[in-house]
Amino acid sequence: MYSIHEVCQRTGLSAHTLRYYEKEQLLPGVGRTPGGFRQYSEEDMETLGMICCLKNTGMSLQDISRFMTLAREGDHTLRERCELLIRHKETVLTRMEEMQRHLDKVSWKIDFFTEKLAEYERDQGSSGAGPENPGD
């Protein structure tokens, strides 16, 4: 059993965020001490691991909530969850390929700017104050 503070340290999520996730049905029904403090079980920690996994690959909290609702319904939703994960993986792969293409464009721009910069500094050097280390 872990306090909210321990869970923060293990997951990197803030206490605020953990309470928010509970409210939003991503991880409902977390246990309480007699005093009313949250107590996370080993199973809760595993669920949180899955939540972070999905969140880190860009799934919306709403979709994660739906996935977790299915998980709570039991093994008869295994096929649905499996298919959902496979579709999600494909989405992420597509997104990464797109990102690579966009990044290629940024690389071209860098080449273009580097060339333009070299030209500009050559002009500055010949007509202006001169290079800082002429005899280097």
Partner DNA sequence: GTAAACCTTGAAGTTCACTCTAAGTCAACA
Partner DNA sequence: TGTTGACTTAGAGTGAACTTCAAGGTTTAC
Residues that bind a second copy in the complex, under the rule CB under 8 A: 50, 53-54, 56-58, 75, 78-79, 81-82, 85-86, 88-89, 92-93, 96, 98-100, 102-103, 105-107, 109-110, 113-114, 116-117, 120-121
Beta bridge partners of 40: 2
Q: Residues 6 or more apart from 99 whose CB is under 8 A from it?
A: none
Residue 120 burial (CB count, 10 A): 10
Binding partner of residue 79 among a second copy, DNA, none, CB cut-off 5 to 8 Å per kind: a second copy
CA 31-33-35 angle, to 5 degrees, is 135
Q: Is 25 left (phi over 0), alpha (psi -120 to 50) or beta?
A: left
**Distance between CA 68 and CA 28 in Å, rounded?**
9
Query: Least Å distance between CB 39 and a second copy?
Result: 26
Report what 5 binds from DNA, a second copy, none; CB cut-off 5-8 Å by kind: DNA
Site pattern 21..60 for DNA (x: CB under 7 A): --x--------xxxxxxx----------------x----x
Looking at residue 99, its amino acid is M
Verify binding: residue 14, DNA, rule CB under 7 A.
yes
Examine residue 20 and tell whether it contacts DNA (CB under 7 A): yes
Tell me how far, at minimum, the Cβ of 33 lies from DNA, in Å. 5
